[in-house]
Amino acid sequence: MTALKQCLSKLVLLLLAAFPLLAGGAQAQDQQPDALHITRVEPSLSRVLTFEALQQLPFVEIATTTPWTDGVQLFRGVPLASILDLQSEDRELHMRAANDYFITMPAEEVSDDYPIIAYMRNGAPMSVRDKGRYWVVYPFDQEPRFNDETHLSRSIWQLVEISIMR
């Protein structure tokens, strides 16, 4: 019985020692402030776009006001459609923010131009503390149809993950 207790004690100590290493790896993956994760189950798609990778793509600029900022803001980003490769069977997008705010958007709402995934505001990268790193933005001032409760609620900031659902 003593040998069994010693073996179990060593096993418990080993697990306790290994836990921070295992948890740290998962935590490091979740704490990539520059990464935007895009997934689809079928057909399989898994992409991680960094801030640098997004900056290499053709961009769009939108000058607009928002309920969350003062005055006209100049947003630079990429059209959401350009990074998703949506297919006719795709029904909706699930988007998650760093603070676990979650929205659902019909895939049919994504046009070639809007919304954009903004990564800069007024010429500077957006910090996580100030609605960055990525923010879903519509041209609220240019197209009043976007200035409603539905689209405002879909203007998710601190975006970290997009899942394409069928």
For residue 28, is pLDDT > 70?
no
For 138, residues 6+ apart whose C-beta sits below 8 A from its C-beta are: 62, 64, 114, 115, 146, 151, 154, 155
CA 117 to each of CA 41, 46, 108, 114, 134: distance values in angstroms, whole numbers, following the listed order? 22, 18, 17, 9, 6
pLDDT band at 97 (very low <50, low <70, confident <90, very high): very high
For residue 145, is pLDDT > 90?
yes
CA 66 to each of CA 122, 127, 153: distance values in angstroms, whole numbers, following the listed order? 13, 17, 12
> Please, are residues 141 and 66 in contact by the beta-carbon 8 Å criterion?
no
pTM tops 0.85? no
Of the candidates 90, 118, 92, the one whose C-alpha atom is nearest the C-alpha of residue 105 is 92
Q: Which of 9-13, 74-78, 117-121 has the lowest mean pLDDT?
A: 9-13
What the block records as the tokens of 147 is 């200035």
**CA contacts within 13 A on the Cβ side of 64:** 24
Percent of the chain scored above 90 by pLDDT? 57
For residue 19, is pLDDT > 80?
no
Query: Which DSSP letter does residue 27 get?
Result: H
What the block records as the tokens of 33 is 């402030």
Residue 3: phi and psi, rounded to 5, are: -65, -40
Q: Give me the residue label for tokens 């069928």.
A: 166
